[in-house]
Amino acid sequence: MVSSDPYTPVIRMRRLRRTPALRRLVAQTRVHGADLVLPMFVKEGITEPRPIRSMPGVVQHTRDSLRAAAVEAVQAGVGGLMIFGIPSHRDQVGSQATDPAGILNVAVSELSSELGDSTVLMADLCLDEFTDHGHCGVLSDSGAVDNDATLRRYERMAISLATAGADMVGVSGMMDGQVAAVRDALDACGDVDTAIAAYGAKYASAFYGPFREAVDSALVGDRRTYQQDPANRTEALREVSLDVAEGADLVIVKPAIGYLDVVADVAASIEVPVAAYQVSGEYAMIEAAAANGWIDRDRAIAETVTSIRRAGAQIVLTYWATELARTLTSGGA
């Protein structure tokens, strides 16, 4: 039987959700363009930007189109750029990574002249785009990735990128000791102000799939002997603590959405700024579902980026950075 004195709630959580203005006032997480970093690809030897099929809306840039898109991103209000280079020639040791005339070094140098201190220019410091086998380091005779021999290549690459004008190098190869090696090499050359963004917790993820197309990756197999196992959580804390001890100025967790527990753990225990990378597969899933009419694209983008911020990432690397910075600045989203 229904009671004659029906229960009415005393506490009404819905009060603060009634209007957009109320919701805006009490929102605990905001995304600002300045929190976002745009990853960009530049390819040697092309005359027109090339679409990346699995990442609709993202292209492999020419040097000119890279410059134009970088200026556009900075004007839209993004906080920084992360540049990846795709050379025409690859070899065993990734020579183009350390050649001042290599595509990444040239592009960074051009962007540095164009943009000066108006943004934070970051460059990916890894060999996978430059090696003919596609691994992030050099191989030993047995075919394994040789950790310490790779560090010697990273040291040289760091100096090349600093000389080209990178404000920050994104050390992404997951070799042991890579941050200390890079810091030492930079300091020894007087590049004491070149900062290090360390991919502290980088998991061996299927969600890098479209990135392999984006950089014309030569990789056969996977990176499970150096990137982290998705099953592990506390290992990430050990990785980032080591990176911070070795001199990382900022740490990156990657991918983002499947690893928000790791983002939260790292943010709670580390004192340097924490970034998370919403990777190519995260981008592709939302774009593909939206193209099929299965998901509201703009809401899905805003929701995922907000969630990454809410989990504790102060900075988000996302292929939607320019678009988001624009809408956020114009008061949308």
- The contact set with ligand PBG (CB under 6 A) reads 124, 126, 128, 136, 172, 208, 211, 223, 279-280
Furthest C-alpha separation in the chain: 84
Minimum distance between the CB of residue 318 and ligand PBG, rounded to whole angstroms? 9
Give CA torsion, residues 45, 51, 52, 55, to 10 deg: 150
- What are the φ/ψ torsions at residue 120 (nearest 5 degrees)? -105, 110
State how far the Cα of 53 lies from the Cα of 212, in Å rounded to an integer.
11
| Cβ atoms of 283 and 320 closer than 8 Å | yes
Inter-residue contact 198 to 245 (CB < 8 Å): no
| Smallest gap from residue 130 Cβ to ligand PBG (A) | 10
Measure the CA–CA gap between 214 and 217, rounded to whole angstroms.
8
Q: Based on CB atoms, which residue is closest to ligand PBG, 12 or 38? A: 38
Which residue, 178 or 280, is less far from ligand PBG as judged by CB? 280
Q: Which amino acid, one-letter code, is at 10?
A: V
Smallest distance from ligand PBG to CB 279, Å: 4
Rounded least distance, CB 208 to ligand PBG, Å: 4
Active site residues: 202, 254
Q: What is the smallest separation between the CB atom of 144 and ligand PBG, expressed in angstroms? A: 17
Judged by beta carbon, residue 223 or residue 309, the one nearer ligand PBG is: 223
CB nearer to ligand PBG: give 255 or 312.
255
CB 266 within 8 A of CB 201: yes
46-55 long-range CB contacts below 8 Å, 24 or more apart?
Answer: 52/210, 52/213, 52/214, 53/213, 54/209, 54/210, 54/213, 54/214, 54/280, 54/284, 55/210, 55/213, 55/214, 55/280, 55/283, 55/284, 55/287, 55/319
What does each C-alpha distance from 136 to 37, 46, 133, 153, 277 come to in angstroms? 22, 24, 9, 11, 18
Give whichever of 128 and 191 is closer to ligand PBG, judged by the CB atom.
Answer: 128
| C-alpha span between 62 and 268 (Å, rounded) | 40
Q: Which residue is closest to ligand PBG by CB?
A: 211
- Shortest distance (Å) from residue 55 CB to ligand PBG: 8
CA 186 – CA 167 distance, rounded (Å):
12
Distance, C-alpha 1 to centroid of its chain: 59
Match 């299927």 to its residue by tokens.
206
Q: Of the two residues 114 and 152, which places its CB atom closer to ligand PBG in the complex?
A: 152
